[in-house]
Structure formats: C-alpha cells, structure tokens
Structure 1
C-alpha cells in the first residue's frame, strides 16, 4: 500500500520509515508528500470505494507522471488515466473521458490526472466525479520536506523562488546521494539562470532610450505590475498587449527590460519555435503551445512574451483547408489566454509582431491581447539623439552627437547599434578610440562624389550660412551629407512666421548666399543652385502678387492672370540687387569662408555656434523657434506654419535654402 494512505498528519521528517526514503527518487517523494497534504480523511475513504470516478488536478503538466505513478501504487488502485491534452478525432480535437463511464458500469474505478481538467475532460466526467482533488502548487515548505526526506538532512535556504521553478528543473536539481546543501545550491543556480539567461546584459527601463509614447506605456505597466505584486490590483485587471513595429526596434528588449525592472520572471517563446522544436505536426504544435502557457503560469509572477505572433494567421484570410488545420491551434491559443485571466496568477502576456494588421480579430479584442503599443524608429531629432547617446555616449560627447542626430531619424535601434559597432571597428584599425566622423562614416552611404564636387557643395553651403549669420538670423547647422536629392543642407531659424518685406528680402539674400560664394570663391555659379533661384523668385513674386508687400494691393492669388514680362524684369532687378548685397557679405568674410569650407570638408557637419565663433559672433540663444531647411518651394506663411519644429518638405514655414540639387549634378 502506498505510504501516503498511512499518513494523516505530522512531520514527514519524523516518520519512522525515513531511513528508507533516500532510496526513493525525488519525484516519488514529491508525489507522496503532495498527496499527503492534498487528501483529507474523507477523500482517502472515497478513493477506496469502488466503483468510483475520481479527478486529480495538478499544477502543471510535469506533475502528471509522478502523481499518476504514486496513485498506481495504491492497494486496489483504480484505472489511472493521464489527461494532458484533448484527443484528435475526425480532424478535430475533443475532450476525453467518455469511455470511462462504460468502465465504471463494469464495476471498475477510473481516476483522471490532468493539469487542466476543465478543458480536457468531458462535461459528463466532470459532473459525475465522486471527488475532485486539487494538488496545490509547490511551496517552499513542501520543497524543504522533499529535500529533507531525500537527503535525510535539513534544507536551509529554500525559498518560494526555488519552488516556482518548472517541476522538471526542480527534480533535476534534487539528486540521490547529494546533501541538502547541494540540492539547495543547485536550485539557486537554476533560479539565477532562468531569471536572467544573459545576466547583466538586460538593462532596466530607466536606462533605455525610449520614445515618449513607449516611455509612457512602460511607466503605466510598471505601476500596474507593482500594484498586482502588492495585492492592490487583481491580476485579471492587467491589460495584455501587442508590441508592433518593424524589425530591430527593440520590442523583445522592452518586454525583457519590463520584467527585469519590475522583478518579475521573463518567459519567452515564439510561434516559429513551436514548429521547429517538435515534429511540426498539429499535435506537436499544440503541445508546445500549451507548454509555453504552463511555463508562464509556473513562473508567476511572470511576463510571458511571444514573438512572431503574426505567424498565427487571421482565420478570415484563410482558405477552407488552411482554416481546418489552424482552427484547433488558434482556438487552443485563445482558450489558454482566457485561462490565464481566470487563473488569478500574476501573469502579463505580451506578443510582438511586425504586421499587426495580420492578426486574428479574436486575438486582439478586449479581454485578450487588447493593448497596442507601436514601437517605431525615432521620428524626431530628440529621440534619435537619445538613441545615439545610448550606444556611443560613453565615448562621444552628447553635444557632438547632437550634430548628427538628424542622421538617426528613421533608423532602428538595431541599425544604429550596428553603425556604432562599425565605427568602433573603423577606429580599431587605426588603434584609437572612435570619433564622430567614424560614426558618420558608418551611418551614411559610402561617398561617391568627386573631391571637386564636394568642395563646390561645401563653398555653396558656407555661403548660405555666413550670410544668414551676418544678417542676424539663427543658424542650426550646415552639412554636406547627402539627404534624398539634396547634396548639402543649411538649417536656419525663421525669425517670424509673418514676415514683412525687409525680412523676406533677407531670406532671399540667404538663399542667394550660396551663389554669392560660388561667384567669389568657387568656380562660378552652377546648376546646383536651381532650387535657390526658384525659391527666391517665388518669394519675391508672392510678396508682390499675393501678400500686398509691393506697390499694389491687388492679390493675384484671387485674380487669374499671367505674370507680365515687365514684372519679371523688375523681379530680376531685385534678385540681382539682393545678390550683390550677399556677394558683399561673402567678400568681406572671404578668408573665413575659405577656412570654414576646409573645416566642413573635414567634419562634414558644422553647428551654427561653431560657424558663429569663426565669425566672432556670440552663440545663438536657445529658443523654441523652428529650425527648417531652406529653399523648399512651399508657402512662407499660412496653414503649414502650424506644423511642428524640425519638419521636412511641406510641413512648415521655411527659410529659403536647402542646398540646391547638388546630388543631381
């Protein structure tokens, strides 16, 4: 007769048969101790009554085998059925146990052992069971008792973290012939390994360069997890969710960091691994799916993270054959999510996808994976700078990185990390620390323009910059890095969104500053200034024809007519006059323009403060004025002026220069 039927109370360590326990396996001892605690006297008596129908619910699937083996050792043991999953019949999965009713009619008893009897057993079995015994999850006290019997020693230092380990791991740590201290040490190592497989490499959320929306989400989630841990919030109130975004944006890292920061365990899997880690057939996929959810429950408090969740298809997009294959998987997946909510365990489920719109609507409805967090590459210079500073800040000062922040817009964290590693490699080849130009080299395409073209572009851009600063306008930066169809760029601040005639003429002069430098220092005017002339002409025409800033007040924006040649001649004279003024500025600073040209060719990016210092001017005061690339043929004032700072074409009022079309020469 099995020992647990002879034990009703008392300390197992004091049992007279303890001297024989070392001969038993840890699994056998665990089953005995667990059953002794779960069965009261009436339940034991009922188990000896035949015929009978009994159900034992265990915490997770690994518990089924040891409990079933121990129950089989009972005197006049019933037929033991291990119900770890539904049964496939006619291409569908069905609950099991109907045949047990026939066995009972023959006078025999049947006992089911299952980690999820409510989902796996037929309703007829559940309704007619004589007893329903629930084996509680492993506790630190129970684990100490098992180690004590196995080693005949006192197990000190056992914690609930050890008991929360997967049962197979626990049993692997408890080995016959070892001491209680060795068993506890094995458990400690297992906890340390599983809590952080890459110990020391997962940063906390406060150190990550998160965008504003992602930061707000993680702050809210940390507060909810803390409330659940403290008992102030029920676990079923947690909002499970989906992290969407292109590859390389850090979705897995964010989820893992959320777990590390909150002190919860992190259980990771992917839909792809459900196929590759088994036989690839439906049964194997379903088993791996269930194992993931069992592992998450066993690790509570835990964040369960499922990557590639879009590999579970939308049933609405499937043909009949594919739908027949996938429906059991999807149904099981949805059922497991519902069971997580009903379990009252401290679990947060997160999925990750590159294609949110491909997800099944039942998966993302309220009550399931209802939150949608977009994790996209940086869309602002501020976010891009944070990302650059995260990777390179230990070696390159933040103020230097701010000069190239625009290069990081739209680049994923993985891309920027790869560029930083390449910058470090470039520096190692010269046996030195990485510099800003190494990172620029890594972030930008290989230079294909000739030295003469680059010099012409640099002279042109410095011309714009010097004229802007001499006229008192604020300059943000100058670059000869290619961007789209532009071979160089000068970013200035507009002094006002409602300019008068004098301000418009200054903006035109800045736009013509490149041509002035081409004339005085370069090889003469060239086609790269096409946009400059177009924008300058447009500004002066708008001032006369649409804005009432000429001699007439009639707005040609309201009157359809062609521009008279006389007006074009007047505009040409104005342009030539303003160009002469720009040339005069460049001529007076010719030596500085040449010096700045050489510096720009070397560094490729210069800030406004650097150029102002060369001109003997004070650095510009920081303000909230927009900084925009010039020479974009868009309205200077009007509806677009309401767009945010740092915007691109068509998104705000512009100073009149974007460096021409040097890239097209």
Structure 2
C-alpha cells in the first residue's frame, strides 16, 4: 500500500512539472533563443559575437528565473568589457521584444547622488535586465528589487575558437586563448583580424605577460628593509592564522602605507611581499587611474572600482596602489578642481571602508610624500598602518644586485660591492647592473664582476687635512649630544676611503645613537635636538673659522633636519613666538612656500641661529675635549661606546690602545 502511494505521488509530481513547463512556454519565448546567423555576427563584430555567445549561455542557465513576469536580473559584466558592447549583443538576441527593458548601470555614485532613477525602470512592472560593471556599487533600490544575480562569462575558450574559425584566424592553444580572454573588449578586433592568425597576437601578449612558474626572482622581504621587513613577517603570520581559521579577518592589517625616498624599490617589495604571503598581486597606481581612457571623472571612478573589484574577485589578494600621494588632500584642492578631486577621494574612501566586505584583500599604498595625502585615507580602518620604507641597507643592496645579476649571485665580491654603495636606491642599483650587462653585451660575453666594479664610482681618498675636518665635525656632534643627554652614543666613525669605507650612510663620517622613546616632547627637548644637528657645522666654524658644505648637501643633511624640526616647532607644537596650531600649513617639499610666509621664516631663522650659536658656545668651552676626540678618530677611524668614555669631559678613564682584534671587529 505504501509503495503504491509513493509511486502515485511520484507520477503526479512528474505531470505537474510537465504542465509547469507548458505553462511557462508563452512567457519564456523571448529567452528561448532561435538560431541566428552566427558566422554573419562574427564577421560583423568580434565583440558582438563573444558577448552574444556569453549572453546565450547566461539566459539558458537562468531560464527559470528569467521566465518570471516581474524578473529583475542583475548581470555583472567583467571589468575589461564595456557595458555598451554587451547591450548591443543583447539587442541582437532580444530585438523588439515587448515587456522587456535594459539598464546600463552607472559605474559610480557622484557627490550629488546617483545619475539614475530606478523608479523609471521599476514602476512599469516589465522585465528588467541591469548590466553593471563587476566590482562597482549597485544602486540600493536595484539591490532590493533584484530577483536574479549572475556574472557574464565572456571569452569562453569555445567561443574564442569559434570566432577564430569564422574569421579564418587559425587555431588557438589553451594558453593563447587564456591570455586573449583577459584582454579588454576594445582589443578583440585587433586580435581577430580577418584572415590573420590570432595566435600571432596571442604570442605577443604572452611575451609581455608570461612569467615562468617557479622561476620568479623575488627579493627577500624578511630582512634589509627595516620596519617594512618586520611588518611583512607579522602580516604573513596573521594571514596564515586567518587561513587556518585561528584569526578573524578583522584582526589582520587590511591597509598599509609604505613611504620613503624615490627609487627605493617599493614596487618590487610589493611583488615580493605578495609571493611571501601567498597572495595574488593586483598592481595599479593613481596616475594610471587618472589616465584611464579619456581621464574624465567617470573614467577615473570606473578605474578605481575596477581595481578593487578585481582584487575582491582574486582574493586572497594584495592590491598595490603606487604613487598614492597623487590622490591629494581635499583641504588643499584648487577651487577649479575641487568637485572632481573631492569626488575621487570620496570614492576611494568608500572602497577602503569596504561597505561591501573585502575579506581577503590587503591594500598596500606606496608614496614619497605622505603629508600630501588626505588624512581621512590614513585613518584607522583604511590605510591605518604607516611604515617608513628606507633606502636599502648593505644586506638588501646585495640582494638587489643578485636579483638583477643572477649569474653572479654566488660571488662574494658582489656583496662587498653592495656594501660600498651607501645611500643608493634600488633604482640606482638596477641601473648599475644594467650598465654592467651592456659592457658584457658589447664584448659578446657573459657579465663578470669586473664589469660591475667598473661602473661603481669609488669615492676619492681623503687627504689628512680633509680627514681631520671630518673628525672635528663628528666629534662636535658627539660631544654636544652627550652633554645634552639626548641618548646613548653607540659609536662614532670617519671614512678615509682607503681602508675604511662608508657602508651605512652616504657620508664621510657618522655618529650613531640610540635615542630613548618619548611619550611627550618639550620645547627644550626640540631645542636640544636642533643644537645637536647643528653641532658638527659649529665645530668646524669654531676650529677652522668656516664650515664645509656637507652639513647642507641633501634632504637628510644636518641643516635639513634642523630646519624641518624648527618648522614643526612653530606650526605644530606652538613652540615659536606665536601660540597658533597650523599642522600641514607649509608644504615641506616646496621650499618657496616656506619663504612666502614671512612670520614663519622669521621664527625658524631665530630658532636656528640661536641653537647654532648655543652649539658653538658649548664647544668653545669643550675645545680641549673636542680636539682630543678628533685626534683619536683620525687615528682609529672608529670608536665605540666603551672607547668613547675616556674622551667625555670630566672622565678619569685613560684611553686604551686599540688592539688588532678590535680593529678587525670595528671594520
């Protein structure tokens, strides 16, 4: 009895299903695709053909949902395809079908609101197909009304091969079809030119894009890059815990800003970091967004949304945004560009906030001037971690040279050369390697270590007179720093460029100090720092009656640091002659701006002159100690903390002779 009842129910269900299909028939005619002249479509337009095939496949797999009388279908179009191209193909399929509307959704929401009224499309109750760019934000009303969501799979391998046949473009391998599938819709006509092999275009694309699996030569991000290396190690550990379900995504650093001098290799670091952490790399830049298509507001917003959309699609992913300081600061935009620029910053804030979850996407920005970036972009929850990316140290310089000269990677002389390149950026080292390879090419042979050495500019040896001046300069820094109790001096050294060479800083000497951490800073603290910065020049002035230019030669020079701190004293700390607080009021990267503000210029000049004189007066009282310490530096070239103790004023310790083992350890 039970079995008979079960059989009856099953037969009844089958009949109901058959009847349902019959009833659906009249309502789904528009999506039951009749045969079209596919060769004619392919010959007319490669883009129309590929979009046509993709839409047919989408309609077939969603025939049930599309048959509903009040269907609102949202179709996400891949970011490299134009909505108009897909719309044109849809009109070929569904030409003159009554009761059906199309909507090409805007790629962004402007400051004044959406440039679309959903009511115009929804009020009639007709079927509606909304084409939206993948990764862009959907209008809230369409989100609520949608009954079907799907992604358009354009450039299926079968469709690409069919197009190639119809246009007599020859056969395509899987690899060739795969690289063509990633191209923008505008490129399809160039790839599938009639009677021309599409494989030729594909090979050109592969030549640009291909990186042989397992053969990537990447820098080691775990060492040589200071704080950036420490952050990379912490990120890798957090991501491993997240993958294993031990750590929620909310606990992972989702945004970081790397900042530092130009040419330091931030882009290469990003690529190596992605591999180090097992992340897919999506790399772009603010200038690329600005130059996207016509460069108008809509195009730039589209480029931003596409970048974040692609990163979400490829999660876990590292989205690298180079030249991030080009985005600007809303408080400083010229009035004629204010609307455009403010809208762009707001769109970027929206993407970084992740109103749509961006789990698995780490955003890494890179720039030279972080002070030019809108502060809202750098707050918690956005690019909240700020890591200074320094010039590479000796270890990192060696790795960069090995990266660009892999055939010499095992040669110990390469590390020695790298150690003699203080102050050189990753770009400088890459150029050196390129020049060495050019020498070898001219002689039709492999590059050797002599080629590299020949391109290194060796600093000239310092004569006794110049070396003594350097010693006076560094002794001045050391004595004033010690007297003002600014920190523990680890060592002081000078370089004669004969037996002693600079490896850490691009200078003739240096004082290296461990400064204590400070919870707050007083006016006297900042004054002491400036006094210490100016002490080297003051020592030269005291002993020789004038100073050399090495106190002012670059952005990292003594006077540059002192001037920057003096500006901050006045504008940020209210330590000048006025009590105002005006952070960011002066563009530190634009010296003319400083001189336009006469009141600020007067305040800064007064601070610098006062502290320079203070340093000179202090050293005048310590002149015997200054001369004695300078003579010791000339003799030993380097003195560490223990060896320095006898030279401090008031010390009763007697200088000890430097042993050979100590000399070897020092150098």
Tell me the distance in 2 between the aligned counterparts of 1:16 and 1:79: 20
Change (3 A) 1:245 1:264: same
The 5 Å alignment of 1:453-468 reads: none
Aligned position for 2:603: none
Change (3 A) 1:192 1:77: farther
Q: Is 1:388–1:416's contact at 8 Å kept on the other side of the alignment?
A: yes
Change (3 A) 1:45 1:117: farther
- Aligned residue pairs, count: 478
Q: 1:313 aligns with which of 315, 325, 328?
A: 328
Q: 2:83 aligns with which of 55, 61, 64?
A: 64
Give per-residue Cα distances to partners, 1:124-146, cap 9 Å, x unaligned.
4544x2x432113639xx93554
Q: Is 1:297–1:340's contact at 8 Å kept on the other side of the alignment?
A: no
Aligned position for 1:95: 114
Change (3 A) 1:67 1:270: same
Q: Is 2:266–2:389's contact at 8 Å kept on the other side of the alignment?
A: yes
Aligned position for 2:232: 218
Q: Is 2:236–2:277's contact at 8 Å kept on the other side of the alignment?
A: yes
Following TM superposition, by how much is the alpha carbon of 1:101 offset from its aligned partner in structure 2, in angstroms?
2.3
Q: Is 1:83–1:112's contact at 8 Å kept on the other side of the alignment?
A: yes
Aligned position for 1:134: 149
Q: 1:628 aligns with which of 630, 638, 657?
A: 638
Q: 1:32 aligns with which of 56, 60, 71?
A: 56
Q: Is 1:202–1:260's contact at 8 Å kept on the other side of the alignment?
A: no
Tell me the distance in 2 between the aligned counterparts of 1:226 and 1:34: 37
Following TM superposition, by how much is the alpha carbon of 1:35 offset from its aligned partner in structure 2, in angstroms?
2.7
Aligned position for 1:412: 425
Following TM superposition, by how much is the alpha carbon of 1:439 offset from its aligned partner in structure 2, in angstroms?
3.6
Following TM superposition, by how much is the alpha carbon of 1:358 offset from its aligned partner in structure 2, in angstroms?
2.7
Q: Is 1:407–1:443's contact at 8 Å kept on the other side of the alignment?
A: no
Q: Is residue 394 of structure 2 the alignment partner of residue 357 of structure 1?
A: no
Tell me the distance in 1 between the aligned counterparts of 2:88 and 2:240: 40
Aligned position for 2:267: 252
Q: Is 2:176–2:203's contact at 8 Å kept on the other side of the alignment?
A: no
Give per-residue Cα distances to partners, 1:315-361, cap 9 Å, x unaligned.
244466654332210111122234496155x5432221011233223
Following TM superposition, by how much is the alpha carbon of 1:442 offset from its aligned partner in structure 2, in angstroms?
2.9
Aligned position for 1:114: 132
Give per-residue Cα distances to partners, 1:494-516, cap 9 Å, x unaligned.
xxxxxxxxxxxxxxxxxxxxxxx
The 5 Å alignment of 1:128-527 reads: 129=145, 131-136=146-151, 138=153, 143-144=156-157, 146=159, 157=174, 165=182, 168=185, 193-194=208-209, 196=211, 203-206=217-220, 210-211=224-225, 213-222=227-236, 237=252, 239-259=254-274, 265-297=280-312, 302-318=317-333, 322-339=337-354, 342-344=357-359, 346-379=360-393, 381-383=394-396, 400=413, 407-419=420-432, 421=434, 439=453, 442-444=456-458, 447=460, 479-480=497-498
Following TM superposition, by how much is the alpha carbon of 1:252 offset from its aligned partner in structure 2, in angstroms?
0.5
The secondary structure found in structure 2 opposite 1:408 is coil
Tell me the distance in 2 between the aligned counterparts of 1:251 and 1:31: 42
Two-structure CA RMSD over aligned residues (Å): 6.1
Following TM superposition, by how much is the alpha carbon of 1:83 offset from its aligned partner in structure 2, in angstroms?
1.1
Tell me the distance in 2 between the aligned counterparts of 1:120 and 1:66: 20
The secondary structure found in structure 1 opposite 2:137 is helix
**Structure 2 stretches lacking a partner, 5+ long:** 1-24, 43-48, 472-492, 512-539, 545-619, 660-667
The secondary structure found in structure 2 opposite 1:58 is strand
The secondary structure found in structure 2 opposite 1:378 is coil
The secondary structure found in structure 1 opposite 2:456 is helix
Following TM superposition, by how much is the alpha carbon of 1:230 offset from its aligned partner in structure 2, in angstroms?
8.1
Identify which range, 319-328 or 223-232, moves more after superposition.
223-232
Following TM superposition, by how much is the alpha carbon of 1:400 offset from its aligned partner in structure 2, in angstroms?
4.8
Q: Is 2:136–2:305's contact at 8 Å kept on the other side of the alignment?
A: no
Tell me the distance in 2 between the aligned counterparts of 1:3 and 1:288: 42
Change (3 A) 1:107 1:293: closer
Change (3 A) 1:360 1:70: same
Change (3 A) 1:384 1:158: closer
Give per-residue Cα distances to partners, 1:546-590, cap 9 Å, x unaligned.
xxxxxxxxxxxxxxxx99xxxx9xxx9x99xx99xxxxxx9xxxx
Tell me the distance in 2 between the aligned counterparts of 1:29 and 1:94: 35
Q: Is 1:19–1:152's contact at 8 Å kept on the other side of the alignment?
A: no
Give per-residue Cα distances to partners, 1:45-92, cap 9 Å, x unaligned.
32xx3xx5734141434263354345444321523221132476xxx4
Identify which range, 279-288 or 425-434, moves more after superposition.
425-434
Tell me the distance in 2 between the aligned counterparts of 1:490 and 1:289: 45
Give per-residue Cα distances to partners, 1:253-288, cap 9 Å, x unaligned.
111233456665433322123333443433333233
Q: Is 1:56–1:134's contact at 8 Å kept on the other side of the alignment?
A: yes
Tell me the distance in 2 between the aligned counterparts of 1:457 and 1:437: 31
TM-score by length of 2: 0.54
Following TM superposition, by how much is the alpha carbon of 1:307 offset from its aligned partner in structure 2, in angstroms?
1.1
Tell me the distance in 2 between the aligned counterparts of 1:160 and 1:23: 20
The secondary structure found in structure 1 opposite 2:67 is helix
Q: Is 2:221–2:276's contact at 8 Å kept on the other side of the alignment?
A: no
Aligned position for 2:563: none
Tell me the distance in 2 between the aligned counterparts of 1:319 and 1:297: 34
Change (3 A) 1:193 1:5: farther
Following TM superposition, by how much is the alpha carbon of 1:215 offset from its aligned partner in structure 2, in angstroms?
3.5
Change (3 A) 1:29 1:341: same
Q: Is 1:4–1:32's contact at 8 Å kept on the other side of the alignment?
A: no
